[in-house]
Each structure stands twice: as C-alpha cells, then as structure tokens.
Structure 1
Amino acid sequence: MLIHVLGAGAGGGFPQWNCNCQNCDGLRKGTIKATKRTQSSICVSSDGVHWVLFNTSPDVLQQIQNFPPLQPGRAIRDSGISAIILIDAQIDHTTGLLMLREGTQKRELYSTDMVYQDLTTGNPLLKILDHYCGINHHEISTDGKTSFEIPQIENLTFTAVVLKSAAPPYSPHRNNPHPGDTIGMLIEDKKTQKRLFYAPGLGEIEPHLPPLFKKADCIMVDGTFWTNTEMIDMGLMTKKARDIGHNPQSGEGGMIEVLDRYPQAKKVLIHINNTNPILREDSKERAILTEHGIEVAYDGMDIVL
C-alpha cells in the first residue's frame, strides 16, 4: 500500500492567511524552524498508477501539481484519481470538488448518506457539479463491518467507522449529530496484510476504536491541537478542542497517551492547526512527540506498507 500526504494542515493551512500567531508570523518572517502545509488530504494506491483521493481540500490543484502521479499523461484529458472518498462534509475537505469540475467523465465519489445530504442541501456542491462533470455517488455503510472495494484499486479494501463529531455549520442537522457525519477509515492491503487507520478528525476515543488501532500497521490521526484549551488560551475561540471534535495531543486521555498503547504501529499526526506548537521543529512539544515515537505529517510525506 502506497500512502502519500498531499496536505497535512488543518482548515486554513499553515500559515493561515489572516493569522498572526507566533507560528504563522514566524513562518512568514523566517524566524522559526517550520514548513508550510496545505489543507489536509491523502491519497492511497496499490500500484502507484491508480489512486484514491481522501477529501478534496481547497488546495487540491496545488497538491496535484506537487504530486505528478495524480496527473499521468495517458490521454489528452486524464487523471490518476480513480475515486474520491469524503471523510466528512467540512469546507476544508470538500471545496476542492469544485476545482475538479472540468471534463465530461463523472467523478466516482464515496461518502456516507449524511455527507451526501449535507452536500446536496446546506452546501449543495454536488448539485453544482451536475452542471459540469457530475458525480457517481457510492454510499458508504456506517455499520463498521461492511467493507467495500473500488474498481482499479487492486488488493485494497475499505471499512468505515463512525466517529463522534458535529456536522458542518451549514448542515440541516448541525445541532443534532447523526452517525456518518464524520468517519474514520480502515484500509487493508489484501496482498501484504498491512493496514492503515486514517481519521483526520477524531474528538473522542470511543470503545470501537482501540481494536482497530491494535490491528493497524500505521495509525494516521487527528493532530489538530496540542492542548484542549489552545484556542481559548490564545483568545481565538471560546470552545475547547474536544468541543469542536478534536482530541488534543497532551493531557489526560490525549493522543500521546492513547498512541503509546500501540507500539506495533507507525504513528502519524495529520490535520495540524496553525497554532499547534508541534509545527515548530525545534519546540519542546515536538521533542516530546519524538520521545513517544509519534511523527508529524508534512506535505509530500510518503509511507509504504
């Protein structure tokens, strides 16, 4: 299984266009040791030719340009993207669909019914695409047991698991969470028996998740915030990290404590907010992660399982 990180940042990327926090200001001025990141997305393949794109960030065109395998030259109109899987309906994971509107071949789109509803009602991106390339929608089961395969993606199976999280602000059921608003994904290579668990948005370690972590050879999960009160402490928000669906790295029950239980897996944090001190490569927080064998995803990172 080939895994390529197209973007490792949270919504807004790093630096965020209107943010002058220590991280963003320092990156612009060159006063900190850090690397810019586009908004989170990965792609997965079994042969290096046909790829599944997870989420379509607003930065998708730049991400495709930075990773040539997604635009092979087999025909005058061509793409290495065989299918798109949406983890949720958030703006930073779906806006890029509009950037992929050219052409007459429908996009093969996989999502839960809840995500499909949000993207045809509150934020009708998919209805807009009907006037351009259009989509073939494939509903992802949320029972946690039903796996699916994707044509052209040989040897890989995909199993979605429901995660607790709020629907986007424009969702008709914003304040009434439904199963399928957000999912994680277990991807298994039938040939090598290797597994990736991927969840860029993870607010709580629910009982059904540890067995999946134990199976995984690579755990790539939410790295948004370092502390639960990070945004409050900086005066940027009035809600805690867990309140908006992100389990922080530090503190009791944080991602460091959780990931320490799975020494068999390669552990990678993705979807990293611009305020998170782990973006500074020489920070004490980054050193703590290194001590615990936890890596920080970056644009262009490659993993082979």
Structure 2
Amino acid sequence: MKYFAITICLFLFSCQNSNVKKQSENQHKSGQYITVLGIAQDAGYPHIGCQKQCCANFYNGNFKKQKVVSLGLVDKENSQKWLFEATPDISTQLADLEQNHLKTTNLIDGIFLTHAHIGHYAGLMYFGREALGKQGTRVYTMPKMKEFLSKNGPWNQLVELKNIVFENLQKDTSVVLNDKLKVTPFLVPHRDEFSETVGYKIEGENKTALFIPDINKWSKWQKNIVEEVKKVDIAFLDATFFKDGEINRPMSEIPHPFIEETVSLFKNETLKTKNKVVFIHFNHTNPALQKTAAEKTKIEKLGFKFAFEGMNFGL
C-alpha cells in the first residue's frame, strides 16, 4: 500500500508539472507576456571542447541543443516585441519571436543588454554589414556598456554605420515602452571587466518579473534576494552552477550563486514565494540542464521552477 501511494504521488506530480508546462505554453494568445528564448550559459549547450557525458547526451541524440539565455517581451495589443540579451543564437531567437509569437515589419523594437560578457551582447554582430546590414535597431544600454561598444571594434562600426542606435539607461530609472509595459534596470555585482552589470524589472499591467541572469554571490548584493522576489510575480534567477565542485576550475574565479545556495536562502519561505523562482542561465555541467536529472526533480518538488525554451508568463 505504501509503494502504491508513492507511485500515485509521483504520477500526480508528473501530471502537475506537465500541466504547468502546457499552461505556460498557452499564456501567449493575447496581451503582454514574456517568453523564454534560451536558458544556457554564455557558451551554450553543447559547450566548446566538452567531451563529458553532459555534452555526449547531445552528440548521441539524447538531448537537443540549448540556446544561450534570452527573454522575449511581446505585446500583441500594440504589435511590439523586445529582446533581452543579444546572444550568439540571436538569429534563431529572433526567428522564434517572428514565427511563434508576433510577426511585424519591424524585426525587433529594441534589445536590452545586461553586460559585456560574450553570451549577452556578441549577437549584435549580426546586425552589421556582413549579415542583416539594416539601420536603426535600438539597443538599450547602461553608460559603461554604451562606451565600450562605441570605442571598441568591431562594435563601433555598428554604431558608425547606424546599424544600432542607443537608448540610454540609468540605474533604477524606468523606461516606459508603452501604456502597458515598462522596464527598470538595476545594478548587480559581477565581474565587470568591460561594463557594469544590470538585472531588469519588467512590469506589465497586472504582473511583474525580475530578470537576473548573472550575478556574484547573493551576499555581495546590497539587496536581499528573498525580499526582492516577494515583491514580484516571477523571478528569473542566475543558476549557472548547481553546487560547488561542479567544474575543474577554481569556482571562486566565477562566483555565481549555486542553485543549492539559492534554495537554502528560501528554505523557510512559503510555497507561494518558492513558486516565483525560475532558475535560468545553466552551465553545460549543470544537471538542471538535463531532462531527467534527479537533482532537478528534487528541487522542483520543493516548489522551484526551471526555465525551458518556450516557457511563457503573462503580464
């Protein structure tokens, strides 16, 4: 009887998880919403030079390619769409927005950048003369990010040819996109070799989301991540690594918050609060990137979510 009850619970959890995915996929029929266009760390999945089992799962045909972390913001009422991050996968991510969400004469109404690490801005190259070559793509940037792109090649050629035009951002100052949507950048601590690093608050008429794909340890931030999550409806949080010792390099050199650490911070919070957390930005070594990882299932049972391409959240 005991084993029967366990089987039933597992079945119900599986059905609930499946229903969450189906509901998420159907929340973009109208109005304003966020769609997940990529979930991997900067170098994507499979990872360059990786011969481990994690990447072998792709080469053996057991798991599909995962694009670099990116969100789309879609407003069907006003026929507008924006991109968060310009990743190396930007061509297919823009195509995803056009084919599966909103096709307009304007390819994209603007791109919000978080910082100058390769997975987050390198896709801008495709707006240049070797690729799209179109003028006037709006790029929302913080001051140091704007300066970096303006003074360093090949990015400054995009500026000189007006392939991209800047929309200036200031920390904690909202950008009103239209009468239904606004976006606010805020500074977060990270390895700021070339630019500052920001996260974003994305606000709709009814709901609000946080997007923090890259940050150092939560303790390095002047804000309390638990309290910040409580203020919003959904929070996409940096989940680059699952736990310490995951890679062969000294992990102190790349001090992201481990999933285990984030889960621990929320351990005494309500299920409602835990349900707001959506982990994103997974390194190729992270078991959360694999379909059937036991580590991922354990965290999901606690109430946390994991981002996947095609996931949608109404605003």
**TM-score, normalised on structure 1?**
0.81
Residues 283-294 of structure 1: pairs in structure 2 closer than 5 A? 283-294=293-304
- Report Cα offsets for 1:39-87 as digits up to 9, x if no partner: 1111112326311111110111122223325896654xx31x1111101
| Separation of aligned partners in 1, 2:224 and 2:181 | 20
Q: Is 1:238 aligned with 2:250?
A: yes
Residues 260-279 of structure 1: pairs in structure 2 closer than 5 A? 260=267, 261=269, 263-264=272-273, 265-279=275-289
Report the CA distance between 1:229 and its aligned residue. Answer: 2.7
Choose from 194, 198, 217 the match for 2:211: 198
Deviation above 6 Å: which 4+ runs of structure 1?
none
| Separation of aligned partners in 2, 1:26 and 1:72 | 33
8 Å contact kept, 2:81–2:110: yes
Name 1:186's counterpart in structure 2.
201
8 Å contact kept, 1:97–1:125: no
Name 2:21's counterpart in structure 1.
none
Structure 2 unmatched runs, 5+: 1-31
Letter in 2 for 1:14: Y
Name 1:94's counterpart in structure 2.
121
Letter in 2 for 1:158: V
| Separation of aligned partners in 1, 2:127 and 2:40 | 20
Choose from 97, 107, 112 the match for 1:67: 97
Change in 2 beyond 3 A, CA 1:62/1:73:
closer
Letter in 1 for 2:124: L
Choose from 182, 186, 200 the match for 1:161: 186
**Aligned-partner SS, 2:54:** helix
Change in 2 beyond 3 A, CA 1:289/1:95:
same
8 Å contact kept, 2:278–2:305: yes
Letter in 1 for 2:71: I
8 Å contact kept, 1:44–1:52: yes
Residues 1-305 of structure 1: pairs in structure 2 closer than 5 A? 1-30=32-61, 34-47=63-76, 49-68=79-98, 74-75=104-105, 78-79=106-107, 81-101=108-128, 102-121=132-151, 123-142=152-171, 144=172, 146-150=173-177, 153-168=178-193, 171=194, 181-189=196-204, 191-192=205-206, 194-205=207-218, 206-210=221-225, 211-231=227-247, 235=248, 237-240=249-252, 243-250=253-260, 254-260=261-267, 261=269, 263-264=272-273, 265-305=275-315
8 Å contact kept, 1:165–1:244: no
8 Å contact kept, 1:56–1:93: yes
Q: How many residues align?
A: 274
Report the CA distance between 1:159 and its aligned residue. Answer: 1.5
**TM-score, normalised on structure 2?**
0.79
Name 1:176's counterpart in structure 2.
none
| Separation of aligned partners in 2, 1:125 and 1:6 | 26
8 Å contact kept, 2:135–2:161: no
Larger radius of gyration: 2
User: Alignment RMSD, CA only?
Assistant: 2.3
8 Å contact kept, 1:228–1:247: no
Change in 2 beyond 3 A, CA 1:41/1:125:
farther
Structure 1 unmatched runs, 5+: 172-179
8 Å contact kept, 1:55–1:84: yes
| Separation of aligned partners in 2, 1:148 and 1:247 | 28
Report the CA distance between 1:154 and its aligned residue. Answer: 3.8
Change in 2 beyond 3 A, CA 1:66/1:104:
closer
8 Å contact kept, 1:186–1:212: no
Letter in 2 for 1:257: S
| Separation of aligned partners in 1, 2:100 and 2:143 | 27
8 Å contact kept, 1:55–1:85: yes
Seq. identity, %: 24
- Report Cα offsets for 1:178-198 as digits up to 9, x if no partner: xx6111111111x22x11000
| Separation of aligned partners in 2, 1:4 and 1:56 | 15
| Separation of aligned partners in 2, 1:55 and 1:23 | 25
| Separation of aligned partners in 2, 1:68 and 1:8 | 19
**Aligned-partner SS, 2:211:** strand
Letter in 2 for 1:16: H
Higher helix share: 2
